[in-house]
A and B are shown apart, each in its own frame.
Chain A
Amino acid sequence: MRVQIAATMLSRVTRLTSRTRQLDPGRILHTGSRAPQSVAAHLDDQAADDGPRAVSRTSEKDPARHGEQHEGLHYDIPLQDVGTLFPQSLPPRFSMQVKTFGEACLMVRKPALELLHYLKNTDFAHPAVRYVLYGEKGTGKTLSLCHVIHFCAKQDWLILHVPDAHLWVKNCRGLLPSAYDRTRLDQPAEASAWLKNFKTTNERFLSQIKVQGQYVWNKRESTERGRPLGEVVEQGLTRAKSATDAVGVVLKELKGQSRAGGFRLLVAVDGVNALWGRTTLRREDKSLVAAEELALVHNLRKMVRNDWHGGAIALTLSQTGSLFKPRKAYLPQELLGKEGFDALDPFVPILVSNYSPKEFESCVQYYLESSWLQHEKAHTEDGKKQLLFLSDANPGQLERLCAHL
């Protein structure tokens, strides 16, 4: 029913907007164009006010029901969900936008829909399938991943979300030799931060899942078999030194128990190419640290192997935070390197590309509605064409461009 209404509104609106376009040829974004002078017709845009809302937004808040008819439309995530699912793990510009607009709106796009479709049809008896979102810079990989995470959360999966793996391989202070394995290094700060976010996201599972092994943290503390997972997490949060080991334990437990079928596990890692790249970390003796010498990275690598079942793995490649990779690289081969590519080998690649014309239009409408675009020529046809040209329909570039207007 809602879909029908949306469709009729859509057709009505396109008729309206085409009329406004004819009446409004005179507005220009830059001075110096040759358009004939005509009566200012921006009032006509106001007439189609409730119309465009349907073009750029949809009221369907459940990602499970998103389908092709919602493609290009924005749907908003309730803010409390944002707080639970993405505690400090949204991309910085997007979180600023959320704060400014007071709402978190994601656009429903084809790659995300494709991935949702796969997830809906997963067979949990088979080993976890790896999906890799790749694409050029600024095309929307991270936000597509967020969309998928929201869907899985709604479906009551356990979310294991690493917002940016690059943060684990650069700019880390306080590396300690691991208590568990002398050759590896701990990162207490990053591990504790991640444990905190994990706890916020998956509060309700922590009491349900029971630990299956016994873990001795130090002389005084240990966790017995059968204790809830929450205790491990608490241990990691209170004792910074054992945080990394706690993370390792959590990962191991979850992997082991997901096949039991008690819950479904989604492993979502953004910037997974960091795991197989170089690091910029050095030990006290100024020798370089390789990626596998970091305990966190080591454990995470084990996690993204497809030797477990009962869930799915969604990964994103990212050049933005990557180290030592050329700016234009975006293909999996380039960003993962040989080692990474072999490790991830059977995976489903999903290309995320720039906006299609419809999506672009929708995005601009959204900005206009939220009064983000203040330039008086922004809502004219010519202005939109200029935006299209300058940003080349790249979502990241468009966002940066609109921030100036």
Chain B
Amino acid sequence: MAAPCVSCGAPLSYRLFLGGRVSFARRHGVWKAAAAELQIGAGSQILRLRHTTGVTTKKNVAALRRETYTVDFIKKQIEEFNIGKRHLANMMGEDPETFTQEDIDRAIAYLFPSGLFEKQARPIMKHPEQIFPKQRAVQWGEDGRPFHFLFYTGKQSYYSLMHETYGKLLDVEKRQNQLQAKGLFSENTKTKDLIGSRWLIKEELEDMLVEKLSDQDYAQFIRLLERLLTVQRDAEEEFVQQFRRSVTIQSKKQLIEPLQYDEQGMAFSTSEGKRKSARAKAVVYEHGSGRIKVNGIDYLLYFPVMQDREQLMFPFHFLDRLGKHDVTCTVAGGGPSSQAGAIRLAMAKALCSFVTEEEVEWMRQGARRGGSRWGRELSPRDLGTADHRPTRQGAEEAGPGGRPQEVHLEEALSAPTQAGRGDAGVCAHVRPTDGRDLPASVRACCGMVCF
């Protein structure tokens, strides 16, 4: 079957040679199946030794082509992984039955401590499915005829998905028309809550289909799904949910410390904060007169520089609680400015226990309201400099706390910066229709590449 190998260009690298096992099974909707499932041989088994490289050409093409893994190889790896997992559990003295991936990670980090900065270069032990890239099974039978009816489109999974989705859309429309004709049509009161989720991004869809897509394809698909939803909000929920990812995780990340009570019955709350190499712990008391003691010293003496004291002021000022709380904090590491920043964060987190939920959300949005410059929408002009600081005069519309803080309140926890809707700086092709948070990596790459 050398001919088909050569004729099909790009998908070549995804071919999984069965090592002789050939199957005639054909499936519709194989866009999903082709990705992960291995073709189970049924039918005549013609053993053929297949080499992964073009040895016939006598060139060392192995180095150029991506490695392909046989099914047996992957199965063997999985078995070895499982056995290894049990050995590891034994070594660590844990129960092999309930040894999870996190336990494995911890055990490996313990047994093979590595000081490498690149986290991905450190020793890992993961399931082979996560290590070896997903490859597609061979798409045609022994006689050279492809299994999938859309094989010759080049992007069979994608087109079959589109086909399926469109089929569903037509079904939904037909049902609605029928209901309308019968007069049983009612405005759907049940609005599907799409707030906390976003559509898949192109990379994720490519991963799912194990196929390269173009931007237009991706956009087309998302438009089709949107169209499906506009017709009927709760149509084909399961189907649609496959293509949505939740984004609510970040905003819920901020844990609110419970209040504690000391001997006199005064409520207080403790939390930690850090900036650069400074680590701070702050204890904020509910009633007080605005005294702050740092490492046992009054903050006026500890921070002679006005700028540092302004940093301390900011959380209270933002919540209009100046002079209402007493604070005791300890800080170590770093220099005066970073210590001030660390204490600021610690105090802000501690204050969360005293304020309502909306105020916590308000604090999260704090950057946009001119607290610090960090976390703001970066205009393309700002992205021109290395550290994204504006180089023009009068650029600071913020108050005196205008230095970029790495960790300002909850922004640190909601790490991705808000994608600007309709912001000229973001490329059109990545703008998700929902306008929700993009992972910072994607947004950054867009910012860099397009401008």
Which A370-405 residues sit within 8 Å CB-CB of chain B?
Answer: 382, 385-386, 388-392, 394, 397, 401
Residues of A within 8 A of B319 (CB): 34
State whether A34 and B397 are in contact (beta carbons under 8 Å apart), knowing that A388-B290, A389-B290 are contacts in the complex: no
> Once bound together, how far apart are the Cα atoms of A312 and B309, in whole Å?
41
B313 touches A390 (CB 8 A): yes
Query: A33: CB under 8 A from chain B?
Result: yes
A34 touches B309 (CB 8 A): no
> Once bound together, how far apart are the Cα atoms of A343 and B400, in whole Å?
48
B297 touches A32 (CB 8 A): no
B398 touches A386 (CB 8 A): no
A392 touches B306 (CB 8 A): no
Query: B399: CB under 8 A from chain A?
Result: yes
B320 touches A35 (CB 8 A): yes
**CB 8 Å contact bits of B364-375 with A (1 = contact, 0 = none):** 001001110000
A31 touches B398 (CB 8 A): yes
A394 touches B317 (CB 8 A): no
Query: A359: CB under 8 A from chain B?
Result: no
Which B275-317 residues sit within 8 Å CB-CB of chain A?
Answer: 290, 297-301, 304, 306, 309-310, 312-313, 316-317
A397 touches B300 (CB 8 A): yes
> Once bound together, how far apart are the Cα atoms of A388 and B304, in whole Å?
15
B362 touches A34 (CB 8 A): yes
Query: B185: CB under 8 A from chain A?
Result: no
A400 to chain B: closest residue by CB: B306
> Once bound together, how far apart are the Cα atoms of A33 and B300, in whole Å?
24
State whether A33 and B318 are in contact (beta carbons under 8 Å apart), knowing that A386-B313, A389-B309 are contacts in the complex: yes
Residues of B within 8 A of A392 (CB): 298-300, 309
State whether A32 and B313 are in contact (beta carbons under 8 Å apart), knowing that A392-B298, A397-B300 are contacts in the complex: no
Residues of B within 8 A of A33 (CB): 317-318, 320
Residues of A within 8 A of B304 (CB): 327
Query: A24: CB under 8 A from chain B?
Result: no
A388 touches B371 (CB 8 A): no
Query: B4: CB under 8 A from chain A?
Result: no
B371 to chain A: closest residue by CB: A32
State whether A30 and B299 are in contact (beta carbons under 8 Å apart), knowing that A388-B323, A389-B322 are contacts in the complex: no
Residues of B within 8 A of A389 (CB): 290, 309, 312-313, 316-317, 322-323
Residues of B within 8 A of A385 (CB): 322-323
B301 to chain A: closest residue by CB: A328
Residues of A within 8 A of B397 (CB): 31
Query: A136: CB under 8 A from chain B?
Result: yes
> Once bound together, how far apart are the Cα atoms of A402 and B369, in whole Å?
26
> Once bound together, how far apart are the Cα atoms of A391 and B300, in whole Å?
7
B299 touches A386 (CB 8 A): no
A30 touches B301 (CB 8 A): no
State whether A328 and B297 are in contact (beta carbons under 8 Å apart), knowing that A32-B366, A389-B322 are contacts in the complex: yes
A32 touches B323 (CB 8 A): no
B310 touches A390 (CB 8 A): yes
A386 touches B317 (CB 8 A): yes
Taking the closest CB of chain A, its distance from the CB of B400, in whole angstroms, is 7
Residues of B within 8 A of A391 (CB): 300
Residue of A30, A394, A397, A401 most packed against chain B (CB within 10 A)? A30
B297 to chain A: closest residue by CB: A328
> Once bound together, how far apart are the Cα atoms of A328 and B302, in whole Å?
9
Residues of A within 8 A of B297 (CB): 328
Residues of B within 8 A of A382 (CB): 317, 320, 322
Residues of B within 8 A of A32 (CB): 318, 366, 369-371, 398-399
A330 to chain B: closest residue by CB: B301
Which B101-150 residues sit within 8 Å CB-CB of chain A?
Answer: none
> Once bound together, how far apart are the Cα atoms of A327 and B336, in whole Å?
15
> Once bound together, how far apart are the Cα atoms of A136 and B319, in whole Å?
31
B370 touches A390 (CB 8 A): no
B313 to chain A: closest residue by CB: A389
**CB 8 Å contact bits of B340-379 with A (1 = contact, 0 = none):** 0000000000000000000000100010011100000000
> Once bound together, how far apart are the Cα atoms of A30 and B398, in whole Å?
8
B318 touches A31 (CB 8 A): no
> Once bound together, how far apart are the Cα atoms of A30 and B400, in whole Å?
8
> Once bound together, how far apart are the Cα atoms of A386 and B370, in whole Å?
17
Taking the closest CB of chain B, its distance from the CB of A247, in whole angstroms, is 36
A397 to chain B: closest residue by CB: B300
> Once bound together, how far apart are the Cα atoms of A401 and B313, in whole Å?
14
> Once bound together, how far apart are the Cα atoms of A391 and B397, in whole Å?
24
State whether A390 and B306 are in contact (beta carbons under 8 Å apart), knowing that A30-B400, A32-B399, A33-B318 are contacts in the complex: yes
**CB 8 Å contact bits of A7-39 with B (1 = contact, 0 = none):** 000000000000000000000001111110000
> Once bound together, how far apart are the Cα atoms of A382 and B319, in whole Å?
11
**CB 8 Å contact bits of A244-258 with B (1 = contact, 0 = none):** 000000000000000
> Once bound together, how far apart are the Cα atoms of A110 and B355, in whole Å?
39
Taking the closest CB of chain B, its distance from the CB of A40, in whole angstroms, is 18
> Once bound together, how far apart are the Cα atoms of A345 and B370, in whole Å?
56
> Once bound together, how far apart are the Cα atoms of A30 and B309, in whole Å?
14
> Once bound together, how far apart are the Cα atoms of A327 and B398, in whole Å?
33
> Once bound together, how far apart are the Cα atoms of A385 and B301, in whole Å?
19
A391 to chain B: closest residue by CB: B300
B322 touches A386 (CB 8 A): yes
Contact of A31 among B306, B362, B399 (CB under 8 A): B399
> Once bound together, how far apart are the Cα atoms of A392 and B362, in whole Å?
27
Taking the closest CB of chain B, its distance from the CB of A402, in whole angstroms, is 12
Residues of B within 8 A of A30 (CB): 317, 399-401
B291 to chain A: closest residue by CB: A392
B319 to chain A: closest residue by CB: A34
Which B364-410 residues sit within 8 Å CB-CB of chain A?
Answer: 366, 369-371, 397-401
Taking the closest CB of chain B, its distance from the CB of A196, in whole angstroms, is 35
A136 touches B301 (CB 8 A): yes
> Once bound together, how far apart are the Cα atoms of A21 and B319, in whole Å?
18
> Once bound together, how far apart are the Cα atoms of A376 and B34, in whole Å?
69
Residues of A within 8 A of B322 (CB): 382, 385-386, 388-389
Which B398-440 residues sit within 8 Å CB-CB of chain A?
Answer: 398-401
A401 to chain B: closest residue by CB: B306
A34 touches B318 (CB 8 A): yes
Taking the closest CB of chain B, its distance from the CB of A379, in whole angstroms, is 16
> Once bound together, how far apart are the Cα atoms of A262 and B369, in whole Å?
71
State whether A394 and B320 are in contact (beta carbons under 8 Å apart), knowing that A32-B366, A388-B290, A389-B290 are contacts in the complex: no
> Once bound together, how far apart are the Cα atoms of A270 and B366, in whole Å?
48
B316 to chain A: closest residue by CB: A389
Taking the closest CB of chain B, its distance from the CB of A350, in whole angstroms, is 20
Residues of B within 8 A of A31 (CB): 369-370, 397-399
Taking the closest CB of chain B, its distance from the CB of A390, in whole angstroms, is 5
Taking the closest CB of chain B, its distance from the CB of A256, in whole angstroms, is 44
> Once bound together, how far apart are the Cα atoms of A34 and B310, in whole Å?
18
Taking the closest CB of chain B, its distance from the CB of A243, in whole angstroms, is 38
Which A262-292 residues sit within 8 Å CB-CB of chain B?
Answer: none
A-B contact pairs, 12 of them (CB 8 A): A30-B400, A32-B318, A32-B369, A32-B399, A34-B318, A382-B317, A388-B290, A389-B309, A390-B306, A392-B298, A392-B299, A392-B300
A→B interface (CB under 8 Å):
30-35, 136, 327-328, 382, 385-386, 388-392, 394, 397, 401
If A32-B371, A32-B398 are given as contacts, then 16 extra A-B residue pairs at C-beta distance below 8 Å, sorted by A number, are: A30-B399, A30-B401, A31-B370, A33-B318, A33-B320, A34-B318, A136-B301, A327-B304, A328-B297, A382-B317, A385-B322, A386-B322, A389-B309, A389-B322, A391-B300, A392-B299
- What are the 4 closest A-B residue pairs judged by CB atoms, nearest first? A30-B399, A392-B300, A385-B322, A32-B370
B→A interface (CB under 8 Å):
290, 297-301, 304, 306, 309-310, 312-313, 316-320, 322-323, 362, 366, 369-371, 397-401
